[in-house]
């Protein structure tokens, strides 16, 4: 690519990174914040609205309870941030919740966390993209009119981008995230100024509507339940907080300290934005309802299904900046962009978690190698399919999708924090230095409180949301759990079956064969055959013969003539096949040989063409492949492919090489692939894959 065309790309997405160059490009805090915080920060785009929305069930009067809910969420946010700061220090390898739970609570807990996280990644994509579409739709009506279609298109684009392996840099995250944070902060400040100084009449677009309360005179237990449900929904603001704890290795030194600082910064920003947005929403009289068509009333009449309920953040922006103004459109756009970036983080996280799970033999071993394109592709496509299905089924309605979210997040929060408590207990048992002990006891206290509070929230979320849709998430987790347990059980049983015998002990399966019979399969005297013969001859096996199948006597005759003409000194055996089969006569011949001398081994050489174009595969090697498939089932046989590279194979070789140099998306978030985890593992993984 010429320098000229490269330039705009570099400006757009910053310096390209290759995974093997990654060691040199660790993230400073100012870049790490946007890279890891797009997910948690973007959730303030929908979390405040959810609180109002649930409260509206008891009418607008219930909105006055929202500050209390906000306080509870802020307390929770600080607790979770404080807890994860402990994780970051204790697990600088970027292990994440799965590792913390597995190491401290055992594999079952770890697998539960993994299942929860897998569901969570799917939900992150579905919720973030739906919410992004809704925010964009506040400024661009077309988008909201074709909501599901637009959401699916964005999922498709993200999937393509990630499959192609876009080389990303910190900058691509930094610009939209800082624009979003800056925009929201300007909005909050400008709103405050207008409210205080000018006592201007800031009114949200829905300020004139009234809310039809579904229940009147609610009180006692029912009111408490509603409050708890509003709180559960607001907890959506917490999603993604754990991301930094997975990314410690990507930070500059001192890694843990920098990560902890970034975590605190992120928590602070999230809290400020959350409080600011919900305060302005109350001040500008934003009205939200779970079923806007029937429960929002204009002059006493329901607004009807033609009404679009805009997200709280754009309603506030409309009130502060004016509907359709440039800052309003700007904020809608960057909000949508940050939400799409948040979805993109799941595209990075899903395959990485898959690779860790594969290493522990909970998923197919081929997902194991990080940075392997195929492993990533499978994960990415799977994630996109799940998320696309959810978006389609739930009509890209972020409110309905949010009912499924959060469960998984709090399952992993709770188990991770509980695991941390165990972690400190274990270390305290041996630690003697008083200063360290003090620090550990303090950390344990924080994690204990974190575990307690997140556990409590988990119970609340399950109680208040189970019938509203959380059961789908629980079901998804259970399915992932069962699948992974089954795969692990399979690998374990294979591992037992294959275990090497105790050294020195005899094993019938491993009896050393006494002689080797070599058979070269030939169909014609051409270069691949000649090469296979000359390679086979190199091995000085005990016997060597060429084998051909007589499918067409004319072809066979010409083979025999060529054989003589070329003076090939290997005996040529021709098997008859009156029914024009190829595989069966060869298999029967090999089996007969084995029966005659069971202690020998048979080595079959197959000349194979190596071709370059996909359709050439359909035209060549199919019989050889099938024959090989059947030969491998015959004990005491080994099969050697002697390749002949056709001219066209060169293009395929280059394509394969290019694929291999592909850099996995999300590599910037993972940092240097550091020394592997040092925690003891339950069992050595099966290494043969």
Report the residue from 71, 381, 619, 682 that binds a copy of itself according to the rule CB under 8 A. 619
Which residue's CB is nearer to a copy of itself, number 327 or number 364?
364
- At 617, list the tokens: 């595969």
Chain position carrying tokens 């000349």: 607
CB 213 within 8 A of CB 57: yes
Of the candidates 405, 452, 448, which has an alpha carbon nearest to the alpha carbon of residue 129?
405
Q: In angstroms, give the least distance from the CB of 689 to a copy of itself.
A: 5
Report the residue from 217, 219, 220, 688 that binds a copy of itself according to the rule CB under 8 A. 688
Q: Spell out the residues 6+ positions from residue 320 whose beta carbon is closer than 8 angstroms to its own.
A: 187, 190, 191, 194, 202, 280, 284
Quick check: 490 binds a copy of itself (CB under 8 A)?
Answer: yes
DSSP single-letter state for residue 235: G
Report the residue from 160, 626, 682, 683 that binds a copy of itself according to the rule CB under 8 A. 626
Report the residue from 71, 160, 622, 682 that binds a copy of itself according to the rule CB under 8 A. 622
Helix (H) or strand (E) holding 147: helix 147-164
Report the residue from 429, 512, 592, 596 that binds a copy of itself according to the rule CB under 8 A. 512
**Alpha-carbon gap, residue 405 to 128, rounded angstroms:** 11
Residue 221: how many other CB atoms lie within 10 Å: 8
469: left (phi over 0), alpha (psi -120 to 50) or beta: left
Quick check: 675 binds a copy of itself (CB under 8 A)?
Answer: yes
Q: Which residue stretch of 62-70, 218-226, 474-482, 512-520 sits at the interface with a copy of itself (rule: CB under 8 A)?
A: 512-520
Quick check: 598 binds a copy of itself (CB under 8 A)?
Answer: no
CA geometry: angle 194, 199, 200, nearest 5 deg: 65
CB 38 within 8 A of CB 342: yes
Q: Which residue stretch of 335-343, 379-387, 421-429, 522-530 sits at the interface with a copy of itself (rule: CB under 8 A)?
A: 522-530
**Dihedral of alpha carbons 169, 165, 153, 311, sign:** negative
Q: In angstroms, give the least distance from the CB of 379 to a copy of itself.
A: 14
- Give residue 245's Cα distance to chain centre: 16
> Helices 326-359 and 107-139, interaxial angle, to 10°?
160
Quick check: 24 binds a copy of itself (CB under 8 A)?
Answer: no
Report the residue from 304, 395, 553, 598 that binds a copy of itself according to the rule CB under 8 A. 553
Report the residue from 326, 429, 503, 596 that binds a copy of itself according to the rule CB under 8 A. 503
**Alpha-carbon gap, residue 68 to 51, rounded angstroms:** 11
3-state secondary structure 174-189: HHHHHHHHHHHHHHHH
Chain position carrying tokens 């914040």: 33
* Residues 354-393 within binding reach of a copy of itself (CB under 8 A): 359, 364-366, 368-372, 374
Quick check: 561 binds a copy of itself (CB under 8 A)?
Answer: no
Quick check: 546 binds a copy of itself (CB under 8 A)?
Answer: no
* Residues 563-582 within binding reach of a copy of itself (CB under 8 A): 565-567, 578-582
Quick check: 261 binds a copy of itself (CB under 8 A)?
Answer: no
Report the residue from 530, 575, 593, 597 that binds a copy of itself according to the rule CB under 8 A. 530
Which residue's CB is nearer to a copy of itself, number 540 or number 595?
540
Distance between start and end Cα atoms, the chain: 38
Quick check: 298 binds a copy of itself (CB under 8 A)?
Answer: no
Q: In angstroms, give the least distance from the CB of 9 to a copy of itself.
A: 24
Report the residue from 305, 436, 539, 543 that binds a copy of itself according to the rule CB under 8 A. 539
Q: Which residue stretch of 171-179, 208-216, 380-388, 539-547 sits at the interface with a copy of itself (rule: CB under 8 A)?
A: 539-547
Quick check: 485 binds a copy of itself (CB under 8 A)?
Answer: no
Chain position carrying tokens 């997975």: 246
Q: How many residues bind a copy of itself (CB under 8 A)?
A: 109
Of the candidates 130, 120, 132, 220, which has an alpha carbon nearest to the alpha carbon of residue 461?
120
Report the residue from 601, 662, 666, 671 that binds a copy of itself according to the rule CB under 8 A. 601
Quick check: 102 binds a copy of itself (CB under 8 A)?
Answer: no
Quick check: 676 binds a copy of itself (CB under 8 A)?
Answer: yes
Quick check: 684 binds a copy of itself (CB under 8 A)?
Answer: yes
Report the residue from 245, 406, 621, 668 that binds a copy of itself according to the rule CB under 8 A. 621
- Please provide the size of the chain in residues: 689
Quick check: 494 binds a copy of itself (CB under 8 A)?
Answer: yes
Helix (H) or strand (E) holding 603: strand 601-610
């Amino acid at each position: 690519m010429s320098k000229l065309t490269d330039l705009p790309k570099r400006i757009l997405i910053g310096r390209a990174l290759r995974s093997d160059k990654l060691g040199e490009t660790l993230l400073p805090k100012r870049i790490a914040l946007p890279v890891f915080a797009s997910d948690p920060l973007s959730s303030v785009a929908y979390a405040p609205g959810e609180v109002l929305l649930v409260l509206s069930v008891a009418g607008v009067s219930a909105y006055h309870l929202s500050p209390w809910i906000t306080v509870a969420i802020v307390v929770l946010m600080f607790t979770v941030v404080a807890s994860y700061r402990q994780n970051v220090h204790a697990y600088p390898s970027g292990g994440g919740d799965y590792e913390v739970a597995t190491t401290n609570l055992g594999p079952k807990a770890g697998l539960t966390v993994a299942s929860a996280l897998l569901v969570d990644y799917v939900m992150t994509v579905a919720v973030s993209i739906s919410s992004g579409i809704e925010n964009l739709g506040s400024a661009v009506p077309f988008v909201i009119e074709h909501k599901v279609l637009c959401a699916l298109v964005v999922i498709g684009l993200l999937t393509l981008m990630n499959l192609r392996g876009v080389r990303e840099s910190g900058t691509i995250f930094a610009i939209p995230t800082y624009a979003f944070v800056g925009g929201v902060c300007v909005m909050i400040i400008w709103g405050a100024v207008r409210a205080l100084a000018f006592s201007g009449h800031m009114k949200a677009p829905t300020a004139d509507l009234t809310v039809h309360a579904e229940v009147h005179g609610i009180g006692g237990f029912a009111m408490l339940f509603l409050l708890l449900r509003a709180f559960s929904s607001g907890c959506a603001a917490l999603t993604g907080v754990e991301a930094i704890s997975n990314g410690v290795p990507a930070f500059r030194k001192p890694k843990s300290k920098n990560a902890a600082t970034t975590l605190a910064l992120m928590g602070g920003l999230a809290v400020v934005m959350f409080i600011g947005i919900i305060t302005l929403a109350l001040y500008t009289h934003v009205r939200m309802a779970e079923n806007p068509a029937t429960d929002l009333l204009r002059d006493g009449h329901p607004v009807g299904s033609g009404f679009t309920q805009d997200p709280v953040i754009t309603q506030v922006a409309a009130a502060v900046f004016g509907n359709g103004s440039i800052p309003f459109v700007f904020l809608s756009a960057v909000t949508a962009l940050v939400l799409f970036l948040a979805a993109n983080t799941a595209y990075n996280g899903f395959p990485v978690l898959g690779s860790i799970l594969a290493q522990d033999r909970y998923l197919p071993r081929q997902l194991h190698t990080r940075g392997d394109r195929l492993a990533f592709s499978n994960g990415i496509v799977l994630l996109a399919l799940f998320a696309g299905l959810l978006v389609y089924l739930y009509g890209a309605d972020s409110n309905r999708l949010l009912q499924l979210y959060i469960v998984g997040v709090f399952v992993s929060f709770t188990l991770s924090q509980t695991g941390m408590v165990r972690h400190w207990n274990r270390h305290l048992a041996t630690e003697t230095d008083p200063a360290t002990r003090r620090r550990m006891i303090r950390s344990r206290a924080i994690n204990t409180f974190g575990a307690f509070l997140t556990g409590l929230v988990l119970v609340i979320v399950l109680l208040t949301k189970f019938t509203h849709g959380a059961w789908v998430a629980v079901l998804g987790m259970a399915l992932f759990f069962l699948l992974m347990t089954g795969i692990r059980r399979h690998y374990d049983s294979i591992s037992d079956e294959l275990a090497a015998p105790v050294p020195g002990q005899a094993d019938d399966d491993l009896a050393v064969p006494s002689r080797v019979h070599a058979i070269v399969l030939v169909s014609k005297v051409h270069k691949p055959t000649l090469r296979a013969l000359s390679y086979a001859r190199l091995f000085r096996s005990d016997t060597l013969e060429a084998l051909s199948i007589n499918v067409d006597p004319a072809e066979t005759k010409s083979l025999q003539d060529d054989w003589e003409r070329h003076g090939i000194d290997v005996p040529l055996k021709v098997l008859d096949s009156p029914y024009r089969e190829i595989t069966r006569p060869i298999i029967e011949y090999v089996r007969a040989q084995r029966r005659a001398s069971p202690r020998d081994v048979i080595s079959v050489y197959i000349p194979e063409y190596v071709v370059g174009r996909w359709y050439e595969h359909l035209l060549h090697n199919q019989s050889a492949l099938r024959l090989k498939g059947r030969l491998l089932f015959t004990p005491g046989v080994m099969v050697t492919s002697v390749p002949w590279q056709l001219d066209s194979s060169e293009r395929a070789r280059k394509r394969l090489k290019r694929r291999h140099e592909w850099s996995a998306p999300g590599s910037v978030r993972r940092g240097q692939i550091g020394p592997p985890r040092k925690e003891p593992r339950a069992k050595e993984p099966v290494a043969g894959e």
